[in-house]
Chains A and B, each alone.
Chain A
Amino acid sequence: MQPMRAIVLTVAKYAALGFGSFVMVFPFLDMFLGALRTPAERLAIPMVYWPHDPQWHNFVRVFTELPMLTWFANSVIVTVAITTIQMVTSTMAGYALAKYRFFGSRLLLNAVLGAQMFPFFLLIIPIFFLLRFVPLAGGNDLFGQGGSGLLNSYAAMILPFAVTWYGIFLMRQSFMAVPDEIIDAARMDGAGEFRIFATVALPLIKPGLATLAIFVFIYQWNEVIWTMTVTRTAPELQTIPVGIYLLRGAFVDQSTLSLQQAAVCVSILPIMVVFLLLQRSYIRGLTAGGVKG
């Protein structure tokens, strides 16, 4: 290919990627600029785009005027709890399906794969009401009547996410790469099955563990629909994105929108930092495990 043509194509390629990147990234900047606008700049016709008097203190107001700390605490509690529980259930089930041949293992594996087909909206309604009728919880009697069950509690936010089918699948893939010989050797040394799992197999799949943990953490931190459904009437339990959304009625007046935009910026920041720091292992793990189904 002639050099001129090669150069043109290369420039075109990077220009295209650059334009795409702009479209990917600039919207975040737009929100950030919005957080810095004064009410006067916002209400001006046309709206002043680049803030001349950046209202940095809006980011402080987010913490003083909004229950951001409560939301943040809830996000941390719920996300860490779910991530921990999912790591436990996924690794245990993944190990069983990878390293044992037992009655029903084939069926269970297909079930795990098939379960991913069921969309979440199918489960939202029944799980909500099943939680409502849990006996002896939240004021309920033995028959699950009279109170509000497990609703309005951390349990309601965490339990429906105790297991992730995709996580089981990923862990199974990871464990399958662990040579059976090592396991057998440990068995012959007299180690119990659980010891083998915890001290021999688990350490060998650290990259996979990291990938799953990060994946789950990010997904659960950002989870909105179930959390919103279950904490709509319990503001003290709301997580950051849910809290911001449910408080939207307070931002009817045009001039107060900068505070809302600052809150949105704050909601994005933690995950962005986590992601940028850990993205190498995260992305590597995802692409290795997930393509062919």
Chain B
Amino acid sequence: MIAWLTSKRGAPYLFMAPVFVFAVFLFVGPLLFAATISFTDWEGVTAPRWVGLHNYTYLLIHDGFFLTSVWNTLVFAAGSVIVGVPLALIAAALISQSRYQSVWRTIYWLPMITNIVAVAYIWRYILNDTSGLLNRTLDVFGLGGPDWLTSTSTAMLSVIMVASWMSIGQNVLVFLSGLAEIDESYYEAARLDGANPLQLFWHVTIPLLRPTIVFVLITSLINALSAFVLMLILTEGGPARSTTVTGLYLYDMAFTDLRLGRASAAAYILFALIFVISLVQLRLLRRGSVEGA
């Protein structure tokens, strides 16, 4: 046995063994466990009680907030992609045309390496309606400044902005490497035809960057649909749950109310949503792209 395991035939299994054990006990096992629990009523103390599809129907039909939380999730995801991705693309394009690239790259990356508690607190102070830097700056220009984080009309927008700030560096890096791979000859040919920089960007860069853009859009959307920790720390999901996304809703359901069955069902509903959206996105965006992921 030992001989076989250490031979060329058996070695890969030995190398894969830790990952395999992990996958069974800390990945597949929990996923199955959660799926099973989602069909029960369980508070983690007494024995689970089988309720079939009741948790799912409750969430989708009777729960007064679940569908709103899904809407909030979609709004946040769409918002942070619409804001974050173009900004990252523009920043990357500018950086790739500039000197001191490594300096710019580092600067734009700083928020990514900052822990989310720090990010949330940094922005809580800046977005404070009376003492925060943003409103005081606006005041200097004679402009008004809303209760960014505490008004139901601006709270979600604020969360989107902070999330974009935090994740822009990641996408800038990806775009930079994509941009680096575009052959200079395309630009030269277009310049010979008299194209200005804006036309170059629109007609040469973007089409050639398409696979990278697709990749960034897909990963950004998936990450945004799963995000909830920022909302927890920045606004506690409020005010009036306007920033409570499904992930946050189910986290509280599980660890504060101990409704483990319903929370697991909510998790799977959200996962199904993310899965479907990813598939749709892949199909839509991959059509006609030069190279797939």
Q: Do chains A and B touch in the complex (CB under 8 A)?
A: yes
Residues of A within 8 A of B (CB): 1, 9, 13-14, 16-17, 20-21, 23-28, 30-31, 34, 42, 46-47, 49, 88-89, 92-93, 95-97, 100, 102, 105, 108, 111, 115, 117-130, 132, 159-160, 162-163, 168, 187, 192-194, 197, 218, 221-222, 224-225, 229, 240-242, 244-245, 260-261, 264, 267-268, 271-272, 275-276, 279-280, 283, 286-288, 290-293
Contact A126 B264 (CB under 8 A): yes
- A240 nearest CB neighbor, chain B only: B115
- What A residues does B97 contact at CB under 8 A? 13
Stretch of B7-15, B57-65, B76-84, B145-153 contacting A (4+ beta carbons < 8 Å): B7-15
Closest to A288 in B: B177
Cα distance A130–B31 in the bound complex, in angstroms: 11
**Total CB contacts across the A-B interface at under 8 A:** 244
Q: Are B91 and A17 touching (Cβ within 8 A)?
A: yes
Q: Specify the main secondary structure of chain A where it touches its partner.
A: helix
B196 A1 Cβ-Cβ under 8 A: yes
B293 at interface, CB cutoff 8 A: yes
Do residues B122 and A168 form an inter-chain contact, with CB atoms below 8 A?
Answer: no
Report the minimum CB–CB distance from A174 to chain B (whole Å).
Answer: 15
Beta-carbon contact of B116 and A222 below 8 Å: yes
30 contacts between A and B (CB under 8 A): A14-B98, A17-B94, A21-B104, A21-B107, A24-B111, A24-B168, A26-B133, A27-B122, A27-B165, A31-B121, A34-B125, A92-B15, A93-B18, A96-B11, A96-B15, A102-B9, A111-B23, A121-B247, A124-B251, A126-B33, A126-B34, A130-B30, A221-B115, A224-B115, A224-B233, A240-B115, A271-B115, A279-B109, A287-B173, A287-B177
CA distance A97 to B255 in the complex (A): 38
Q: Using known A-B contacts A30-B122, A117-B275, A125-B260, determine if residue A105 contacts B94 with beta carbons closer than 8 Å.
A: no
Answer yes or no: B52 CB below 8 A from chain A CBs.
Answer: no
Are A121 and B267 touching (Cβ within 8 A)?
A: yes
CA distance A222 to B11 in the complex (A): 35
Write the chain B residue with the least CB distance to A125: B254
Question: Is there contact, CB below 8 Å, between A28 and B122?
Answer: yes
**Does B285 interact with chain A (Cβ within 8 Å)?**
no
B154 at the interface (CB under 8 A from A): no
- In the complex formed, the residue of A with least CB distance to B112 is A218
| Contact among B8, B122, B125, B226 for A121, CB-based, below 8 A | B226
Q: Decide if the interface of chain B is mainly helix, strand, loop or mixed.
A: helix
Residues of the A chain whose Cβ atoms lie less than 8 Å from the Cβ of B278: 117
Q: Does A194 lie within 8 Å of B267, measured CB to CB?
A: no
Among A1, A197, A271, A292: residue with most chain B CB under 10 A: A292
Q: How far is the CA of A240 from the CA of B292 in the complex (A)?
A: 40
Shortest C-beta distance, A176 to chain B (Å), equals: 15
Q: Is B95 an interface residue (CB 8 A)?
A: yes
A76 to B89 CA separation, bound complex (whole angstroms): 35
The 8 tightest CB contacts between A and B, nearest first, are: A293-B293, A126-B30, A193-B11, A287-B177, A222-B115, A119-B226, A96-B15, A100-B12
Contact partners of A244 in chain B: CB under 8 A: 117, 121
Contacting pair A122 B267 (CB below 8 A): yes
Closest to B116 in A: A224
Closest to A119 in B: B226
Q: Is B281 an interface residue (CB 8 A)?
A: no
Cα distance A229–B248 when bound, in Å?
13
CB distance from B97 to the nearest CB of A (A): 7
Task: Report which of B91, B180, B291 forms a contact with A292, defined as CB distance below 8 A.
Answer: B291
Nearest CB of chain B from residue A45's CB, rounded to whole Å: 8
**B113 on interface, CB distance cutoff 8 Å:** yes
Q: Cα distance A121–B252 when bound, in Å?
A: 12
Per a CB cutoff under 8 Å, which of A9, A17, A130, A267 touches B117? A267
Contact A96 B16 (CB under 8 A): yes
Q: A192-B6, A193-B6 are in contact. Are A21 and B108 (CB under 8 A)?
A: yes
- What are the residues of chain A within 8 A of B168 when measuring CB–CB? 24
Contact of B228 with A121 in the complex, beta carbons under 8 Å? yes
Q: Which of B262-282 contact A (CB under 8 A)?
A: 263-264, 267-268, 270-271, 274-275, 278
Query: Which B residues lie within 8 Å of A222 (CB)?
Result: 113-116
Is A224 a contact partner of B102 (Cβ separation < 8 A)?
no
Within the complex, the shortest CB–CB distance from B16 to chain A, in Å, comes to 5
* C-alpha gap A131/B146 in the complex (Å): 45
Whether B163 sits at the interface, judged by CB under 8 Å, is no
